[in-house]
Structure 1
Amino acid sequence: MPRPDVIDAIARDGIAVSATLGFVPGFAPPPRIAARVDGFVANLRRMRDAGVKVVCSSDGGIGPPKPHDVLPYGAAILVECGFPPIAALRAVTSLAAQVCRIGERKGRLAPGFDADLLAVEGDPLVDVTALRAVTAVFRAGHRVR
Protein backbone atom coordinates (compact mmCIF):
# COMPACT_ATOMS: atom_id res chain seq x y z
CA MET A 1 0.00 0.00 0.00
CA PRO A 2 1.38 3.44 -0.92
CA ARG A 3 2.60 5.64 1.92
CA PRO A 4 2.56 9.25 0.68
CA ASP A 5 3.52 10.40 4.19
CA VAL A 6 6.74 8.39 3.98
CA ILE A 7 7.54 9.73 0.52
CA ASP A 8 6.90 13.28 1.74
CA ALA A 9 9.18 12.72 4.75
CA ILE A 10 11.92 11.34 2.50
CA ALA A 11 11.69 14.41 0.28
CA ARG A 12 11.52 16.84 3.22
CA ASP A 13 14.59 15.30 4.89
CA GLY A 14 16.61 15.26 1.65
CA ILE A 15 17.07 11.49 1.69
CA ALA A 16 18.21 9.98 -1.61
CA VAL A 17 16.55 6.85 -2.95
CA SER A 18 18.48 4.46 -5.15
CA ALA A 19 16.13 2.91 -7.69
CA THR A 20 17.58 -0.32 -9.07
CA LEU A 21 16.48 -0.06 -12.68
CA GLY A 22 17.48 -1.34 -16.04
CA PHE A 23 17.45 -4.67 -17.75
CA VAL A 24 18.10 -5.79 -21.29
CA PRO A 25 14.87 -5.90 -23.30
CA GLY A 26 13.54 -9.37 -23.95
CA PHE A 27 13.96 -10.71 -20.43
CA ALA A 28 10.82 -11.10 -18.35
CA PRO A 29 11.20 -10.35 -14.64
CA PRO A 30 10.58 -13.22 -12.23
CA PRO A 31 6.87 -13.53 -11.32
CA ARG A 32 7.36 -12.17 -7.78
CA ILE A 33 8.95 -9.02 -9.24
CA ALA A 34 6.56 -8.72 -12.21
CA ALA A 35 3.64 -8.59 -9.77
CA ARG A 36 5.13 -5.47 -8.16
CA VAL A 37 6.23 -3.48 -11.23
CA ASP A 38 3.10 -1.31 -11.50
CA GLY A 39 3.30 -0.32 -7.83
CA PHE A 40 7.01 0.38 -8.12
CA VAL A 41 6.47 2.65 -11.14
CA ALA A 42 3.63 4.47 -9.35
CA ASN A 43 5.83 5.05 -6.31
CA LEU A 44 8.70 6.22 -8.51
CA ARG A 45 6.35 8.79 -10.05
CA ARG A 46 5.17 9.85 -6.58
CA MET A 47 8.78 10.31 -5.51
CA ARG A 48 9.46 12.39 -8.62
CA ASP A 49 6.41 14.57 -7.93
CA ALA A 50 7.42 15.00 -4.27
CA GLY A 51 10.96 16.07 -5.20
CA VAL A 52 12.77 13.03 -3.80
CA LYS A 53 16.40 12.75 -4.95
CA VAL A 54 16.28 9.58 -7.04
CA VAL A 55 19.57 7.95 -8.05
CA CYS A 56 19.53 5.29 -10.74
CA SER A 57 21.44 2.10 -10.01
CA SER A 58 21.40 -1.17 -11.93
CA ASP A 59 22.81 -4.26 -10.19
CA GLY A 60 24.77 -4.60 -13.44
CA GLY A 61 26.62 -7.87 -13.82
CA ILE A 62 24.36 -10.09 -11.74
CA GLY A 63 23.04 -12.10 -14.68
CA PRO A 64 22.03 -12.11 -18.34
CA PRO A 65 19.15 -9.59 -17.95
CA LYS A 66 21.54 -7.22 -16.14
CA PRO A 67 24.96 -7.18 -17.80
CA HIS A 68 27.59 -4.68 -16.70
CA ASP A 69 26.50 -2.07 -19.25
CA VAL A 70 22.77 -2.05 -18.39
CA LEU A 71 22.62 1.34 -16.63
CA PRO A 72 21.52 3.28 -19.76
CA TYR A 73 18.34 1.19 -19.79
CA GLY A 74 17.66 2.39 -16.24
CA ALA A 75 18.00 6.01 -17.31
CA ALA A 76 15.45 5.33 -20.05
CA ILE A 77 13.05 3.84 -17.50
CA LEU A 78 13.29 7.05 -15.47
CA VAL A 79 12.31 9.03 -18.57
CA GLU A 80 9.44 6.62 -19.23
CA CYS A 81 8.28 7.34 -15.66
CA GLY A 82 8.13 11.06 -16.40
CA PHE A 83 11.56 12.25 -15.31
CA PRO A 84 12.98 14.79 -17.76
CA PRO A 85 16.07 13.51 -19.60
CA ILE A 86 18.31 15.95 -17.67
CA ALA A 87 17.08 14.47 -14.37
CA ALA A 88 17.73 10.94 -15.65
CA LEU A 89 21.26 11.95 -16.69
CA ARG A 90 21.92 13.50 -13.29
CA ALA A 91 20.55 10.35 -11.61
CA VAL A 92 23.32 8.30 -13.26
CA THR A 93 26.09 10.93 -12.97
CA SER A 94 26.31 13.99 -10.71
CA LEU A 95 23.56 13.09 -8.24
CA ALA A 96 24.84 9.52 -7.99
CA ALA A 97 28.35 10.85 -7.31
CA GLN A 98 27.02 13.20 -4.60
CA VAL A 99 25.10 10.40 -2.90
CA CYS A 100 28.22 8.21 -2.97
CA ARG A 101 30.15 11.13 -1.45
CA ILE A 102 32.53 11.46 -4.36
CA GLY A 103 30.77 14.42 -5.96
CA GLU A 104 33.76 16.70 -5.36
CA ARG A 105 35.70 14.83 -8.06
CA LYS A 106 33.26 12.76 -10.14
CA GLY A 107 29.93 13.09 -11.89
CA ARG A 108 30.47 16.36 -13.78
CA LEU A 109 32.69 18.00 -16.32
CA ALA A 110 34.59 20.63 -14.36
CA PRO A 111 38.19 21.72 -13.70
CA GLY A 112 39.87 19.42 -11.21
CA PHE A 113 37.44 16.55 -11.74
CA ASP A 114 38.63 13.07 -12.73
CA ALA A 115 37.73 13.30 -16.46
CA ASP A 116 35.79 10.04 -16.53
CA LEU A 117 33.77 10.51 -19.70
CA LEU A 118 31.30 8.61 -21.82
CA ALA A 119 31.00 9.78 -25.43
CA VAL A 120 27.80 8.79 -27.21
CA GLU A 121 26.27 9.17 -30.63
CA GLY A 122 23.38 11.61 -30.40
CA ASP A 123 22.11 13.94 -27.72
CA PRO A 124 20.88 12.21 -24.55
CA LEU A 125 19.11 15.43 -23.51
CA VAL A 126 16.83 14.93 -26.50
CA ASP A 127 16.79 11.11 -26.53
CA VAL A 128 18.20 9.39 -23.44
CA THR A 129 18.56 6.13 -25.37
CA ALA A 130 21.61 7.75 -27.00
CA LEU A 131 23.44 6.53 -23.87
CA ARG A 132 23.35 3.07 -25.45
CA ALA A 133 25.29 4.26 -28.53
CA VAL A 134 28.71 4.53 -26.87
CA THR A 135 31.53 5.75 -29.10
CA ALA A 136 34.28 6.15 -26.48
CA VAL A 137 34.96 5.79 -22.76
CA PHE A 138 37.62 7.77 -20.91
CA ARG A 139 38.92 7.00 -17.41
CA ALA A 140 40.92 9.77 -15.76
CA GLY A 141 41.26 11.41 -19.18
CA HIS A 142 42.66 8.30 -20.90
CA ARG A 143 40.65 6.48 -23.54
CA VAL A 144 39.88 2.94 -22.41
CA ARG A 145 37.28 2.02 -25.04
Structure 2
Amino acid sequence: MMRKGLTRRKQRHVPVEFSLTITEMFEEYMLVKKGEGLAKRTIQEHYNNFGYFKTYIGKEHTAEEMTTELFVGWITYMIEEMNYKPGTVNIRVRTMRAFLRYCYEDKAWIYEPIHKSFKPIRAPTLNYVFK
Protein backbone atom coordinates (compact mmCIF):
# COMPACT_ATOMS: atom_id res chain seq x y z
CA MET A 1 0.00 0.00 0.00
CA MET A 2 1.32 3.39 -0.99
CA ARG A 3 1.14 6.44 1.24
CA LYS A 4 -1.17 9.22 0.21
CA GLY A 5 0.46 11.66 -2.21
CA LEU A 6 2.95 9.16 -3.63
CA THR A 7 2.66 7.94 -7.16
CA ARG A 8 4.16 4.97 -8.87
CA ARG A 9 6.74 5.72 -11.51
CA LYS A 10 6.39 4.14 -14.92
CA GLN A 11 8.86 1.39 -15.58
CA ARG A 12 11.13 2.29 -18.48
CA HIS A 13 12.06 -0.97 -20.08
CA VAL A 14 12.47 -1.53 -23.80
CA PRO A 15 12.84 -5.21 -24.69
CA VAL A 16 15.99 -5.82 -26.73
CA GLU A 17 14.12 -7.63 -29.48
CA PHE A 18 11.78 -4.64 -29.84
CA SER A 19 14.43 -1.92 -30.12
CA LEU A 20 13.58 0.39 -33.00
CA THR A 21 15.91 2.55 -35.02
CA ILE A 22 15.69 6.30 -34.71
CA THR A 23 14.18 6.45 -38.21
CA GLU A 24 11.48 3.91 -37.34
CA MET A 25 10.63 5.85 -34.20
CA PHE A 26 10.52 9.11 -36.16
CA GLU A 27 8.25 7.66 -38.84
CA GLU A 28 5.73 6.52 -36.20
CA TYR A 29 5.95 9.92 -34.52
CA MET A 30 5.22 11.61 -37.84
CA LEU A 31 2.13 9.43 -38.38
CA VAL A 32 0.82 10.86 -35.12
CA LYS A 33 1.70 14.42 -36.17
CA LYS A 34 -0.01 13.97 -39.54
CA GLY A 35 -3.05 12.60 -37.70
CA GLU A 36 -3.11 15.76 -35.59
CA GLY A 37 -3.66 17.71 -38.79
CA LEU A 38 -0.42 19.69 -38.88
CA ALA A 39 0.09 21.79 -41.99
CA LYS A 40 2.06 20.20 -44.83
CA ARG A 41 4.79 22.80 -44.44
CA THR A 42 5.11 21.99 -40.72
CA ILE A 43 5.30 18.28 -41.50
CA GLN A 44 8.00 18.96 -44.09
CA GLU A 45 9.98 21.05 -41.60
CA HIS A 46 9.89 18.14 -39.12
CA TYR A 47 11.32 15.86 -41.81
CA ASN A 48 13.93 18.46 -42.79
CA ASN A 49 15.09 18.97 -39.19
CA PHE A 50 15.24 15.23 -38.59
CA GLY A 51 17.28 14.90 -41.79
CA TYR A 52 19.78 17.48 -40.54
CA PHE A 53 20.20 15.48 -37.35
CA LYS A 54 20.60 12.20 -39.27
CA THR A 55 23.27 13.82 -41.45
CA TYR A 56 25.11 14.90 -38.31
CA ILE A 57 25.08 11.43 -36.69
CA GLY A 58 26.06 9.78 -39.97
CA LYS A 59 24.48 6.38 -39.30
CA GLU A 60 21.36 4.74 -38.01
CA HIS A 61 21.02 4.63 -34.22
CA THR A 62 18.91 2.42 -31.97
CA ALA A 63 17.04 3.57 -28.89
CA GLU A 64 19.94 2.41 -26.71
CA GLU A 65 22.36 4.64 -28.63
CA MET A 66 20.30 7.79 -28.21
CA THR A 67 21.95 9.83 -25.46
CA THR A 68 21.96 13.35 -24.15
CA GLU A 69 25.57 13.71 -25.31
CA LEU A 70 24.56 12.93 -28.88
CA PHE A 71 22.04 15.77 -28.97
CA VAL A 72 24.20 18.25 -27.08
CA GLY A 73 27.00 17.46 -29.53
CA TRP A 74 24.66 18.23 -32.41
CA ILE A 75 23.72 21.59 -30.90
CA THR A 76 27.39 22.43 -30.34
CA TYR A 77 28.16 21.42 -33.93
CA MET A 78 25.44 23.70 -35.31
CA ILE A 79 26.70 26.65 -33.23
CA GLU A 80 30.46 26.24 -33.46
CA GLU A 81 31.09 24.40 -36.72
CA MET A 82 28.20 25.53 -38.88
CA ASN A 83 27.88 29.03 -37.37
CA TYR A 84 24.08 28.85 -37.45
CA LYS A 85 22.13 31.68 -35.92
CA PRO A 86 20.36 30.99 -32.61
CA GLY A 87 16.95 31.10 -34.31
CA THR A 88 17.91 28.34 -36.74
CA VAL A 89 19.40 26.18 -33.99
CA ASN A 90 16.36 26.68 -31.77
CA ILE A 91 13.85 25.63 -34.43
CA ARG A 92 15.77 22.38 -34.88
CA VAL A 93 16.16 21.87 -31.14
CA ARG A 94 12.44 22.34 -30.48
CA THR A 95 11.51 19.88 -33.21
CA MET A 96 13.86 17.20 -31.88
CA ARG A 97 12.82 17.80 -28.25
CA ALA A 98 9.18 17.19 -29.20
CA PHE A 99 10.19 13.96 -30.95
CA LEU A 100 12.27 12.80 -27.96
CA ARG A 101 9.46 13.67 -25.54
CA TYR A 102 7.15 11.43 -27.58
CA CYS A 103 9.73 8.62 -27.57
CA TYR A 104 10.15 8.81 -23.80
CA GLU A 105 6.77 9.80 -22.41
CA ASP A 106 4.29 8.36 -24.89
CA LYS A 107 6.08 5.22 -26.09
CA ALA A 108 8.85 4.49 -23.55
CA TRP A 109 11.22 3.62 -26.39
CA ILE A 110 14.13 5.45 -24.80
CA TYR A 111 15.41 5.01 -21.26
CA GLU A 112 16.19 8.54 -20.15
CA PRO A 113 14.33 11.85 -20.54
CA ILE A 114 16.81 13.27 -23.04
CA HIS A 115 14.38 16.04 -23.97
CA LYS A 116 14.78 17.52 -20.49
CA SER A 117 18.58 17.62 -20.73
CA PHE A 118 18.91 20.29 -23.41
CA LYS A 119 16.97 23.41 -24.22
CA PRO A 120 16.89 26.06 -26.91
CA ILE A 121 19.99 28.22 -26.80
CA ARG A 122 20.02 31.81 -25.67
CA ALA A 123 19.46 34.27 -28.45
CA PRO A 124 20.81 37.79 -28.17
CA THR A 125 18.17 40.28 -27.19
CA LEU A 126 17.53 43.13 -29.55
CA ASN A 127 17.25 46.58 -28.08
CA TYR A 128 15.22 48.80 -30.31
CA VAL A 129 15.29 52.54 -29.94
CA PHE A 130 12.00 54.10 -30.95
CA LYS A 131 12.10 57.66 -32.21
- The verdict on a shared fold, with TM-score over 0.5 as the criterion, is no
Larger radius of gyration: 2
**TM-score normalised by structure 2 residue count:** 0.31
TM (normalized to structure 1)? 0.29
**Which structure has the highest helix share of the two?**
2
Between Structure 1 and Structure 2, the one with more strand by share is: 1
